Amino acid sequence: MSSSAREAILAAAKRTAQARGYGGLNFRDLADDVGIKAASIYHHFPSKAELGTAVARRYWEDTAAQLDAMLAETADPVRCLRRYPEMFRKALESNNRMCLCSFMSAEVDDLPDAVKKEVQTFADVNVAWLSKLLVAAGLANSKKSQQRARAIFAAVAGAQLIARSRSDISLYDTTIDSYRAAGLLPK
């Protein structure tokens, strides 16, 4: 398939960026991962900035699709909201990785503008999805739902970061439990 190299590069870059960030991405290691030479990557992406942009865009697209799939699977909005933290848990399960966009949020000062834009879109996608479900669940009126959604998003991202720093996924689980106990997430 002609685009399989491109896809392999995107997948490998995503994996690396989830562990080492945008700054930790480099063409030699990436090429080794994929099984080609560094210069060959330029046949698929004209620069690191454009590769990063493509990776971040693909990341929120995939996330949006997974969220939609979750909603299709668990129609009840309260139960679906309860499942939201599963998303961020998966990254930790995958070798203690974290959300690519959380990492890149830390790196904003060194990010090309196009990459930054995609990172922000990731947040928008999550907040919009959470907001929609909060309204559907009757847990927030449409005025406050966005703010409340952002709080959930931020809190879950924070829990992931803290758990990652100790490579301890149980820290993530207990923190999410505390969010539920406090009423930030539905019980």
Partner DNA sequence: CGTTATCTACCAAGTGTTAGGTAGGGCTTG
Partner DNA sequence: CAAGCCCTACCTAACACTTGGTAGATAACG
Tally of residues, the chain:
187
Residue (of 124, 122, 148) closest to 135 by Cα position: 148
104, 38 contact by CB (below 8 A): no
Separation CA 72–CA 85 (nearest Å): 17
- Please select the residue that binds DNA; options are 14, 21, 48, 104, rule is CB under 7 A: 48
- Please select the residue that binds a second copy; options are 47, 93, 108, 141, rule is CB under 8 A: 108
DSSP, res 26? -
- Please select the residue that binds DNA; options are 11, 15, 19, 31, rule is CB under 7 A: 31
Q: State the CB neighbour count (10 A cutoff) for residue 145.
A: 21
End-to-end Cα distance, the chain: 47
148-181 as b/e, with b when 16 or more CB fall inside 10 Å?
A: bbeebbebbbebbbebbeeeeeebbeebbeebee
Smallest separation, CB 161 to DNA (Å): 23
Using rule CB under 7 A, residue 28 touches DNA: yes
Binding piece for DNA, criterion CB under 7 A, among 43-51, 95-103, 137-145, 168-176: 43-51
Using rule CB under 8 A, residue 151 touches a second copy: yes
77, 182 contact by CB (below 8 A): no
Using rule CB under 7 A, residue 72 touches DNA: no
- Please select the residue that binds a second copy; options are 66, 79, 106, 142, rule is CB under 8 A: 106
Using rule CB under 8 A, residue 33 touches a second copy: no
Which partner in DNA, a second copy, none is near 74 (CB below 5 to 8 A by kind)?
none
Name the residues that contact DNA, by CB under 7 A.
2-3, 5, 25-29, 31, 36-40, 42-44, 46-49
Name the residues that contact a second copy, by CB under 8 A.
19-21, 23-24, 96, 98, 101-110, 116, 119-120, 123, 147-148, 150-151, 153-159, 161-162, 164-167, 171, 174-175, 177-179, 181-184
